[in-house]
Amino acid sequence: MPHPKFSLDGFCDLGAKVLDQLYPSWCVLCENELSGGRSICDSCHDLLPPISAPFCQVCSEPFQGKIDGEFKCPNCADLKFAFDFARSGMMRDPQTLEIIHRLKYGREIHLASELARLAAQAFLDPRFELSLAEKWPLIPVPLHYRRMQHRHFNQAAEIGRSLAKLADLPLLFALKRVRNTTTQTLLSRKQRLDNLRGAFALTKSGSKWLSKQRSGAILIDDILTTGSTVDACSKQLRRAGFSHVHVVTVMRG
C-alpha cells in the first residue's frame, strides 16, 4: 500500500514549485504574474519597438522620416562589409537593452528565448526568404574562452539556440575566438578593426559543415553597434567558403 502522504499529485506540485523557482513566473518588465514559461507579458512585449521601414539596407539603422525606396545610411555609404546585410529585430530602446543586460550580466538565461523571439522579428524581412528556405546555419558570434570562463555562457549562443528552434534552422558553432580582444566600446572604427584582426577562426564543426555542402550562413549576435565584430566574423566565414553571410541581431545599438 502506498504511503498515505505520498501521491503523484504531490510530485506534480513539487515539480511546479521547482519550475517556478527556475523560471520566474512574473514579467521581467512590469512584474505582473505570468504562466507558460514566458518571461515577458504580451502587453510589455507589444510595447517594445521593432525596426520598421525606412531603415538602412546595410546596417538596419532606422531613419525618422519619409524615404521612398531603399537607402543606405551615411555611415554605410562609404563602407564595404563582408556580410550582405545586417538586420536587427528591434530598435534601440532602454527596455530591450535591459533584457539583454539581464541575460548577459545578470545571467538570467531564461531570457534568451524572449530575446530570440525579438530577434525573430528580423526574419519578417523578405531578404531572409532564401536563407530560411535553404536552412542556412545560424552561427553565434563566439566569446573568448577566458571571457567564457568568467561569464560561464555566451549570450549570442543562448539566443541562437532558441532562435534556431523558433525558425527551424541548424545551429552551428562554426567560429571560435583565437585571440582575446580588448573591449571595443571606447575604440575608434580603425582601432576596432586592428583589434579584431585575426581574432576569429573556423572550428572543426565549421569545416565539417563546409566539407559536406556549400551554403550561406546567418550570424547571430545580441546587439549591432558599429558592425566591426560581425564584419570580422563574416570575413572569416567567407574566406572559409560560406557563399554569403547575413547578420541578425536582437537590437540595433
Distance CA 89, CA 52 (A): 9
Return the number of the residue (59 or 251) whose C-beta is nearest Zn ion: 59
Return the number of the residue (79 or 201) whose C-beta is nearest Zn ion: 79
Return the number of the residue (42 or 134) whose C-beta is nearest Zn ion: 42
Dihedral angle sign, alpha carbons of residues 126, 132, 136, 141? positive
- Ranges within 21-60 binding Zn ion (CB under 5 A): 27, 29-30, 41, 44, 56, 58-59
Distance CA 117, CA 26 (A): 18
State the minimum distance, in angstroms, from the CB of residue 172 to Zn ion. Answer: 27
Return the number of the residue (59 or 111) whose C-beta is nearest Zn ion: 59
Q: Are strands 175-177 and 200-202 parallel, antiparallel or unpaired?
A: antiparallel
Q: How far apart are the first and last CA of the chain?
A: 63
157 binds Zn ion (CB under 5 A): no
Residue 56 makes CB contacts below 8 A (sequence gap 6+) with 62, 63, 71, 72, 73, 75, 76
SS3 for 98?
Answer: helix
Residue 73 and residue 61 in contact, taking contact as beta carbons nearer than 8 Å: yes
Per-residue interface string for the shown chain with Zn ion, residues 193-232, x marking contact by CB under 5 A: ----------------------------------------
Nearest C-alpha neighbor of 57 from the set 83, 88, 86: 86
State the minimum distance, in angstroms, from the CB of residue 235 to Zn ion. Answer: 18
State the minimum distance, in angstroms, from the CB of residue 63 to Zn ion. Answer: 9
Residues linked to residue 252 through DSSP beta bridges, in sequence order: 224
Residues linked to residue 88 through DSSP beta bridges, in sequence order: 249
Q: Please identify, among the stretches 46-54, 75-83, 176-184, 208-216, the one whose residues bind Zn ion according to the rule CB under 5 A.
A: 75-83
14 binds Zn ion (CB under 5 A): no
Return the number of the residue (75 or 205) whose C-beta is nearest Zn ion: 75
State the minimum distance, in angstroms, from the CB of residue 44 to Zn ion. Answer: 3
99 binds Zn ion (CB under 5 A): no
φ and ψ at residue 249, rounded to 5 degrees: -135, 160
Binders of Zn ion: how many residues, by CB under 5 A? 11
Return the number of the residue (61 or 114) whose C-beta is nearest Zn ion: 61
Residue 225 and residue 253 in contact, taking contact as beta carbons nearer than 8 Å: yes
Q: Which residues bind Zn ion (CB under 5 A)?
A: 27, 29-30, 41, 44, 56, 58-59, 61, 73, 76
